[in-house]
Amino acid sequence: MKTRKEIWQRIKGVSVRSFHFLVNVYTFVIPILALCIWLFPEVYFFAMIRSLTPHFAISALVVLVLHLFRNKTLLFLSSYAALMLFIPTFLGLMYPDAIVEAKPNHQNFSFVQFNVLKHNDHHATVINKVLESGADIVSLQEIDTVWHKDIREKISATYPYSLSYPSEVCCIGLCLYSKIPLQNAHVEFFGDLPNIVADIQIDGENIHVVSSHTQAPIYAWKFEGRNQHLKDLTSYLQKIQGAKMVLGDFNSVPWDKFLTDFKEGTKLNDSRHSYAATFPSWLGKFGIPIDYIFYSKEIECIGFTAIQSQDSDHNGIKGVYQLKGNSIVKK
């Protein structure tokens, strides 16, 4: 009869061999995945893998170090190849636009973007985060009738100008609240989903504002819906002259092909100047950035911060801006 020590040694040996086998298989698979996200960025499966490339890059680095210490040259080179394919996917697009210094005698204005989570019962906590931000304009998503009632009661005194589109359909409701008068505020549909559009005046200059929320690409058909939403929004913005601010939950990472196409098509800049993950909030810095505040060339971003949340599944973001002047459309 085998002793307890012998049984333990056998279990340990099987576990180590199984671990090495799985690591070896993964090591040969990840460069294939890394190559496919370059070759097929519009294919649903590879687009979802592409969304997690920083995480896959970290895993490739871990196994690379493991194979280095095990002196496994072929496996080391396979991990290295995957790492070199993953990193360029996101690194150049992670911090695309620089923050500039605030100019003296320029009026600053600020925006906050927050997906509140429709099924979140902690309304007061999220609303307090919004009020504490001190932003001039607030864009909120996943608003149903209960959220709409609570938000209106708590912040309408501070933000007297607003337009809301509450909905019980998950999760298309949204609202725009402002300390600055909203002009021509109405709802536009892109990708068959509501978007709030309005104009604001800063120092007598007109800025067109769009609040949007695309579908979460948890299924292939929702992925197609999200992409169509971005295309429709691009077409709309191309027709708008002058300064523009576009914010919302875009359910897309900065290095996703469809989002880079959106930025190129609209000539908008991303306020983000650090990784600033927003989803899921409970993963903190290890999540992915999918919430945005975009601005056009007539505007400069002078500050950007993340707003930590413990109740919504999204962290909020806040951006501070100033006009460049000279090239804004006056009304």
**pLDDT given for residue 159 in this prediction:** 97
In this structure, which amino acid lies at residue 192? Answer: D
Please state the domain extents for the chain: 4-92, 109-323
**pLDDT given for residue 105 in this prediction:** 76
Q: Tokens standing for 50?
A: 């592409």
Residues of the chain with pLDDT under 70: 1-2, 4-7, 92-98, 325-331
235-241 long-range contacts, Cβ below 8 Å, gap at least 24? 236/188, 236/190, 236/210, 237/210, 237/265, 237/266, 237/268, 238/265, 238/266, 240/208, 241/329
Second CATH level (architecture) for the domain 109-323: 4-Layer Sandwich (3.60)
Question: How far is residue 8's CA from residue 169's CA, in Å, rounded to a whole number?
Answer: 55
**pLDDT given for residue 261 in this prediction:** 97
Write the Ramachandran bin of 293: left for phi over 0, alpha for psi from -120 to 50, otherwise beta.
beta
Q: What is the pLDDT of residues 214-270, one digit of tens each?
A: 999 999 999 999 999 999 999 999 999 999 999 999 999 999 999 999 999 999 999
Answer whether 79's CB lies under 8 Å from 57's CB: no
Q: What is the pLDDT of residues 256-277, one digit of tens each?
A: 999 999 999 999 999 988 888 9
> What is each CA distance from 164 to 185, 286, 316, in whole angstroms?
10, 32, 19
Question: How far is residue 290's CA from residue 126's CA, in Å, rounded to a whole number?
Answer: 19
Answer whether 208's CB lies under 8 Å from 243's CB: yes
Residue 258: count other Cβ atoms within 10 Å of its Cβ: 21
**pLDDT given for residue 327 in this prediction:** 42
Answer whether 108's CB lies under 8 Å from 321's CB: yes
